[in-house]
Amino acid sequence: MYEGLLKQYKEYLPITDNTPMISLAEGNTPLIPLHSLSKELGINLYGKYEGLNPTGSFKDRGMVMAVAKAVEEGAKAIVCASTGNTSAAAAAYATRAGVKAYVVIPDGKIAMGKLAQAIIYGADIISIPGNFDEALKAVRDIAETEAVALVNSVNPYRLEGQKTAAFEVCEQLGQAPDVLAIPVGNAGNISAYWKGFKEWHDKKGTLLPRMHGFEAEGAAAIVKGEVIEQPETIATAIRIGNPASWTLAEAARDESKGHIDSVTDEEILNAYRKVAAQDGVFVEPGSAASLAGVIQHVKNGKIKPGETVVAVFTGNGLKDPDTAINATDVKISKMSDLEEMRLHLRNGVSEL
């Protein structure tokens, strides 16, 4: 039986005899071949579907490790700032480990599914008028003076847990892909993947990918080389103007001979709709930044024909139903008559 990341990758993680082996059976997510998009783009494209983690995002990988270490070190409470997914994961793993979770979120800028999760898992939810960057600054200050463990990705155990996704990609493909495409928000995940690819290569000779990270254009601090005071994007997960792991992300880009570029909200929404409608994979808007970037890089030659590309789909589309409904022309035909339905189907099918 698969028992989660701490057991699965024990010897690659900072686990001691005193680390509680908590688990919601996170990790072990599918690498889905995207047949339609591969054909259209002329590459071998896969989606690493992190939306199938227990709380619906990649955050579970880092959170299981960070919460286990916090408990090992005696914490009774954890705290994080979040655009939504981190708070859902923190709340779930805190419950699992028997500690309390405080989550600080930007008022009105968190997708409905994520808020619902924090509520139902029983977190203490604090909403602030500012954005994620301000929330992160606040919790960093608070964790200095209060008896709470900070579980944002500035906590190094988070990246340790998250690097396991790179291990899985190598195991699933047999080696690293040519390109790993990934959304960039606070920049922890791109840094974690790069660490994971390097460690797995050192042990197993699985080679190294080029890391292609993508920020939303209205929040593209690394691309522009400056802090964005008022970040804006439809992809609220990555609405971050001062990434905490900025330097690590640049190192991942440079060491791997990759790129960090930006994608517009229009490119994000286009990719978001395409992967659902063409390949049957529903991801959240922030996750679609990786695919939007792949499409852009195929066009401008930064990805070459025939290359193997893994796009990380960081979160599940169900997290943000409002965006799904607003991003498409919803066509629901109201019918109560069986004959009317029959005709509707008959006409439709005859056109196929």
Please state whether beta strands 31-33 and 44-49 pair in parallel, antiparallel, or not at all (unpaired): antiparallel
Candidates 181-189, 201-209, 255-263, 294-302 — which segment interacts with ligand F0G by CB under 6 A? Answer: 181-189
287 touches ligand F0G (CB under 6 A): yes
Site string for ligand F0G, 138-167 (x = CB under 6 A): ---------------x--------------
**Smallest separation (angstroms) from ligand F0G to the CB of 74:** 25
Decide if residue 284 touches ligand F0G (CB under 6 A). yes
Which of 29, 53, 55, 85 is the binder for ligand F0G (CB under 6 A)? Answer: 85
Q: Measured from the CB atom, is 7 or 109 closer to ligand F0G?
A: 109
Residue 59 or 259 having the CB closest to ligand F0G: 59
What count of other Cβ atoms lies within 10 Å of the Cβ of residue 17?
A: 5
Q: In this chain, which stretch among 39-47, 69-77, 118-126, 187-195 interacts with ligand F0G, using CB under 6 A?
A: 187-195
User: Per CB under 6 A, which region of 122-130, 166-174, 186-194, 257-265 contacts ligand F0G?
Assistant: 186-194
Provide the minimum distance between the beta carbon of 336 and ligand F0G in the complex, in angstroms, as a whole number: 39
326 is in an annotated binding site: no
188 is in an annotated binding site: yes
Interface residue with ligand F0G among 8, 29, 53, 57 (CB under 6 A) is 57
Positions in 297-316 near ligand F0G (CB under 6 A): 314-315
**242 lies in the site for ligand F0G, by CB under 6 A:** no
Nearer to ligand F0G, 113 or 315 (CB): 315
Cβ neighbours around 137 below 10 Å, total: 14
323 is an interface residue for ligand F0G by CB under 6 A: no
Q: In what order do the strands lie in the sheet with 77-81?
A: 124-128, 100-106, 77-81, 149-150
Nearer of residues 115 and 187 to ligand F0G, judged by Cβ = 187
Q: 48 near 2, Cβ under 8 Å?
A: no
- Which residue stretch of 3-11, 36-44, 64-72, 82-90 sits at the interface with ligand F0G (rule: CB under 6 A)? 82-90
Residue 186, annotated ligand binder?
Answer: yes
Asked whether position 291 contacts ligand F0G by CB under 6 A, the answer is no
Residues 6 or more apart whose CB falls under 8 angstroms from that of 280 comprise none
Q: Is 84 in the site for ligand F0G (CB under 6 A)?
A: yes
Binding site, annotated residues for pyridoxal 5'-phosphate: 85, 185-189, 314
Give contact residues for ligand F0G (rule: CB under 6 A). 57, 59, 82-86, 153, 183-189, 237-238, 284, 286-287, 314-315
